[in-house]
Amino acid sequence: NFPFSKNRTSLVITHYIIREYMRLPLCVILELLLKYIKITQSYARNLPSAYAKERLSYINKNLLI
């Protein structure tokens, strides 16, 4: 019936998440970003790849709550 309904829903959800995160203090957002960057870098370098992958999925799950 509605070909774009799923797309629109994900857009609304993304917008809601962004709006929620705008309420956080900037330092918290920066800290989250730094942690995410560090983990993705260690994941890219494949140093502790299993650990990094685990941390990445953990962070992704927590960011989507």
Q: Where is pLDDT greater, at 2 or 63?
A: 63
> For 25-63, how does the pLDDT look when each residue is reduced to its tens digit (9 = 90+)?
777 778 888 888 887 776 666 555 677 677 778 877 777
Secondary structure class of 60 (helix, strand, coil): helix
pTM of the complete model beyond 0.75: no
Residue 10 maps to a domain: no
- Phi, psi dihedrals of residue 15, rounded to the nearest 5°: -60, -40
User: For residue 42, is it within any domain?
Assistant: yes
Quick one: pLDDT at residue 23?
76
* Count of domains for the chain: 1
Closest CA to 40 of 31, 53, 27: 53
Residue 42 corresponds to which tokens in the numbers above?
């260690």
Dihedrals phi, psi of 64, to nearest 5 degrees: -90, 0
Q: Which structural domain, as residue segments, surrounds residue 51?
A: 24-65
Q: Does 1 reside within a domain? A: no
